[in-house]
Chains A and B, each alone.
Chain A
Amino acid sequence: MSLRIVVCVKYVPDATGDRHFAEDLTTDREAVDGLLSELDEYAVEQALQIADAADDAEVTVLTVGPEDAKDALRKALSMGADKAVHVEDDALHGTDVMGTSLVLAKAVEETGYDLVVCGMASTDGTMGVLPAILAERLGVPQVTLLSEVAVADGKVTGRRDGDAASEQLEASLPAVVSVTDQSGEARYPSFKGIMAAKKKKVESLDLSDLGIDEEQVGLAGAWTKVEEAAPRPPRTAGTIVTDEGEGAKQLAEYLAAQKFI
């Protein structure tokens, strides 16, 4: 039987742009171009490798996001994913992680899955918790933050490099995994891949398709509330010296004056 892999990818404002907040304190999506979160490219890559290693597999990429989030799906399709699901609904504006995970869980179930692959964290919210929440909601094992992953005989195994130890993990499918940027460089879409992606199917779903009430999501349905957002005051301009033999001494004097020595 075919191995059904769903990859969750997020469409985010480019981290190298000048990101800021809109008036309602949600992420401003106008000023900065959006793209497929770079850390989710690693998820797509590992999903494609797992699919290649399996006899028969299908890779679906899934995103919850605004209309432009299709760009992220197109990129993942051009890398080699088979099809895409886009959950799009005006009521989703301002959804927090609890709402987003609810929608993703329903969409994953709707799509059908043996394995869900996520990135380690998004590059905008950067919470790094969505995969764990997804596993909790789906009631399947969580095998997260892997720098190595493999699937064989109905099991997923992988290495999790934690703070205090490196752990070898194992769980039965179905399961949710997340992979880090240590898992291996993501491939670039080939010209052929880009052309092929244009013909691949992108299914659009809204909240009613998933049986979710509008009250459960969006800014109003969020369980967290942003009260204030302010740009960090610019750091006061520092002292910069050019080393002409005295640089180390000058720096040592500075550090001593600041009581670090």
Chain B
Amino acid sequence: MGEVLVYVDHVDGAVRKPTLELLTLARRIGEPVAVFLGPGAEGAAAALAEYGAVKVLAADAPEFAEYLVVPKVDALEQAAKAVEPVAVLVPSSAEGKEIAARLAVRLGSGIITDAVDLEAGAEGPVATQSVFAAAFTTKSRVSHGTPVITVKPNSAAPEAAPAAGTVEQLSVSFSEAATGTKVVSRSPRESTGRPELTEAAIVVSGGRGVNGAENFSIIENLADSLGAAVGASRAAVDAGWYPHTNQVGQTGKSVSPQLYVAAGISGAIQHRAGMQTSKTIVAVNKDPEAPIFDLVDYGVVGDLFEVVPALTEEIKARKG
């Protein structure tokens, strides 16, 4: 079986869950070789090995943090040239997609973005995509060059499959383009202590119906009772009630949790584009005609200011 390069998404050395999902999917098409860029490879190697990385190619250089995207493309390109993989898998974050796309140009390969599933096929890996705001499902493959595929979070349940995970240094020489775009300053997001929106098993979102920043605590309390991440519609974000980083939808995050709870959200197509693949969908909305009710597994027609706090209490009581 050939090797599959898996680009590791991590925060200061802590491997993010989508990477473990990628390692799991990679094993369907070959032997995963992880590419870890930045500091902390030795510490991350154990987790990568546990989920099946036979090798971890590691490189650290200041360029990765000081310049946008291209240094990482250089590293991945050189890893690909060394390994000659059967495919390259990259997590579908905004940055991951850009890295993957430039890599594909350099490798003379086609690219598929935002896969939600991946399987081996006679002519190479077959990717499932959910398109047109999740109204259609397509199966596609890269027909030229080394397949480069980006995969959305929550596309597979991570399964442990211990492998060697030997760390090898990857020496990277940077291209002239690497230093083209300087990162002049960076302010990290403050942690909320809640799960990452795209990775969370449960997401509770509030929309225009929440009617004010001060009321979002109602949504947060329900989220906390379920151990969930908090999302928001664009209407709520545009009104300044909740940060844009929490926006769910076409121009926000795309989420695919086990459970999605929409409170005071009408269910516009652009919102649905970011949540329609959720396993179970629940809504609270005072308008029985709201389009969100077309999607739900369980819906409550009612005032969110009554239903949501009562639900939070009920959950807390049940959890003891």
Contacts and interface: CB of A to CB of B under 8 A. Distances in A.
Interface of A: 15-16, 19-21, 25, 39, 96-98, 101, 120-121, 123-124, 126-130, 132-133, 135-137, 139-145, 147, 157, 160-172, 175, 180-182, 222-232, 235-236, 238-243, 247-252, 254-256, 258, 260-261
A251 B298 contact: yes
A167 B98 CA distance: 16
Contacts of B184: 157, 167-170
Contacts of A251: 282, 284, 298, 300, 307, 311, 314
A156 to B, nearest CB: 9
Contacts of A143: 68, 181
Given A127-B113, A166-B187, A251-B298, A144 B293 contact: no
Contacts of B69: 132, 142, 144
Contact of A256 (B137, B182, B302, B318): B318
A243 B301 contact: yes
A171 B141 contact: no
B299 A222 contact: no
Contacts, number: 262
Given A165-B188, A255-B282, 13 more contacts: A121-B250, A126-B250, A136-B105, A171-B180, A222-B143, A230-B136, A231-B135, A235-B281, A235-B295, A243-B301, A243-B307, A251-B300, A261-B226
Interface in B1-19: 11
B contact patch SS: mixed
B214 interface: no
Contacts of B273: 15, 126
Contact of B303 (A129, A235, A243): A243
Contacts of B97: 127-129, 132
Interface in B288-313: 288, 293-303, 306-308, 310-311, 313
A240 B302 CA distance: 11
Interface stretch (B29-37, B54-62, B126-134, B158-166): B126-134
B29 to A, nearest CB: 16
A240 B139 CA distance: 33
Nearest to B113: A127
A136 B273 CA distance: 29
Nearest to B138: A229
Contacts of A182: 244
A169 to B, nearest CB: 6
Contacts of A171: 180-182
A24 to B, nearest CB: 13
Contacts of B177: 136, 139, 141
A135 B97 CA distance: 14
Nearest to B270: A15
Contact of A133 (B102, B180, B299, B310): B102
A129 B113 contact: yes
Contacts of A164: 11, 188-189
Contacts of A229: 131, 136-139
B104 interface: yes
A247 B111 contact: no
Contacts of A132: 69, 97-98, 101-102
A160 B100 CA distance: 18
A17 B21 CA distance: 34
